[in-house]
Structure 1
Amino acid sequence: MFNPNHPDSDLFKTILEPLLDDFEYWFSRSRSLLEEQHIPFLSADEQKDLLQRVMTSQQEVSTVQALLKATGGQAGVDSSVLVTWHHLVSECWQVSLKLRSQQSS
């Protein structure tokens, strides 16, 4: 949680809100890809697992956004969670790039 009296609390809010919007955007795109496309280099179980992790992360991002709104920007998220989300977005980007590369050749 943020300390509202901490001088950096506005900075955290200024950075965290757009970052959460970015995660929301990329998880949405990744979810669409995984739901609508057959990914030939992933097994059905791997694709299902990746989709489930994306959906779970989407829910987590939505929860944090709701908490930020409900607390007037005084809620936060542990940096380890942000790192996990970042790794998942990177994994989805790699899948998308590989799929696009295979489709173009």
Structure 2
Amino acid sequence: MVSPQFNSPEPDFVKELLEPLLEDFQYWFSRSRSLLESQEVNFLGEEGQSDLLCRVTQAQQEVETAKMMLKVTNGQVGLDTNVLMPWHHLVTECWQVGMRFRAEQSDF
């Protein structure tokens, strides 16, 4: 999940890049979780909504762990892109669900 940044020419670079990115992930996962917990998203079906909520909750926990590691090491660790990409794809999926949900709500 995390990798030490040995001999990094700019030690603050990883921290300056990752902190805002992790905050963005947390923000979007939080919004998505709120929607999934408070609304019935008919086009997902009960099982699909439950699955998406589970994946969002898991991702939130993973992001929080990454944030703690970044803080504890004072930005001396990084995240592999193999960790970041699934979060990015999940945020994109959540955006699509949110947009479709809002569009369907406005049709009423």
Flag whether TM exceeds 0.5 (same fold): yes
Q: Unpaired segments of 5 or more residues in structure 2?
A: none
Moved more, 52-61 or 67-76: 67-76
What does residue 17 of structure 2 align with?
15
Q: Say which structure is richer in strand.
A: 2
- Cα distance in 1 for residues equivalent to 2:11 and 2:37: 38
Q: CA RMSD in A?
A: 1.1
Which SS does the other structure have where 2:4 is aligned?
A: coil
* Matches for 1:58-97 after TM superposition, within 5 Å: 58-97=60-99
Output the TM-score relative to the length of structure 1. 0.94
Task: State the identity %.
Answer: 55
- Cα distance in 2 for residues equivalent to 1:86 and 1:8: 25
Output the TM-score relative to the length of structure 2. 0.92
Correspondent of 2:59 among 52, 57, 74 = 57
- Cα distance in 1 for residues equivalent to 2:13 and 2:78: 12
What does residue 46 of structure 1 align with?
48
Deviation at 1:10, TM superposition (A): 2.1
What number of residue pairs does the alignment pair up? 105
Whether the aligned pair in 2 keeps the contact of 1:2 and 1:9 (CA below 8 Å) is no
In structure 2, give the amino acid aligned to 1:101. A
Higher-RCO chain (CA-CA 8 Å, sequence separation at least 6): 2
